Structure 1
């Protein structure tokens, strides 16, 4: 016999999500939307075929904080089975650049392979050529008050 869930079971915990298909990736995309990160926080480990970004993620899942005291948390967004990384609309030589993530999408090319697109504000994009979708989004710090003290807004 299973026990009923308790209030404590619903306590806030850091995110630790995985994605193995496009639907899973859309969940990660919605939780990573409006994350900001310095260009220097992107790393491609060629031998391990892993691309990772340390994000300052807006906590969209915390509905109370969205209106009262918006929070961010540092999170690691990583992708495995990466064969190639390309970017467009990003000046990678400017180490002071701060990028803002709008979405993470998948364009299949066949047999589970395809391109993962990290679309950025200002018409920038990072394209990862992957053998398959293997992504994780993991919070790595405690939440902190968003420096802007406001919730990101998008024109309708």
Structure 2
């Protein structure tokens, strides 16, 4: 048996850019329940860039998969935030190289003159706060979809 293909879902890879709070809500919905090892977090202060390599559940394909009886899918995606001035994390042990994080939501609180704070909320009371000079968040699928290992839709208590 082979992995799923983008063509199986009838859609191409996502390439989205968020430049306002409403756009961030769309990206937040698409990355909800994405998982990533703590080692897949990168911050480049010189380039003012913060990036995550995610294994995201393909929420946009859920109903189609159910309609045709096909397994649910995940896809490797990059979430990049530009113009990052400051990064803070809470409840994350960066020294634990085996730690796997689950991203629950991404929220944006606007500040003065286009600045603001992007908050990535993680399962287990963890969070990453990014102070940005201007909002630019990109979400790009970088691999073909693959069958979700659990075979289930993520759920929350």
Q: TM-score, normalised by structure 2?
A: 0.89
SS at match of 1:111: helix
For residues 156 and 64 of structure 2, the distance between their equivalents in structure 1, rounded to whole angstroms, comes to 19
- Candidates 76, 79, 89, aligned match of 1:74: 76
SS at match of 2:16: strand
Deviations 1:51-110 (A, max 9, x none): 000000000000222574110000000000001111001111101000000000011221
Mapping of 1:49-60 within 5 angstroms? 49-60=48-59
SS at match of 2:27: helix
2:156 corresponds to 1:154: yes
For residues 56 and 106 of structure 2, the distance between their equivalents in structure 1, rounded to whole angstroms, comes to 13
Mapping of 1:19-38 within 5 angstroms? 19-38=18-37
Q: TM-score, normalised by structure 1?
A: 0.90
Structure 1 gap ranges (5+): 1-10
2:132 corresponds to 1:130: yes
SS at match of 1:29: helix
Deviations 1:33-68 (A, max 9, x none): 000000000000111100000000000000222574
Instruction: State the number of aligned residues.
Output: 147
Higher helix share: 2
For residues 121 and 130 of structure 1, the distance between their equivalents in structure 2, rounded to whole angstroms, comes to 23
Structure 2 gap ranges (5+): 1-9
RMSD of the TM alignment (CA)? 1.6
2:85 corresponds to 1:83: yes
SS at match of 1:149: coil
Partner of 1:92: 94
Mapping of 1:1-40 within 5 angstroms? 11-40=10-39
For residues 154 and 99 of structure 2, the distance between their equivalents in structure 1, rounded to whole angstroms, comes to 19
Larger CA Rg, structure 1 vs 2 = 1
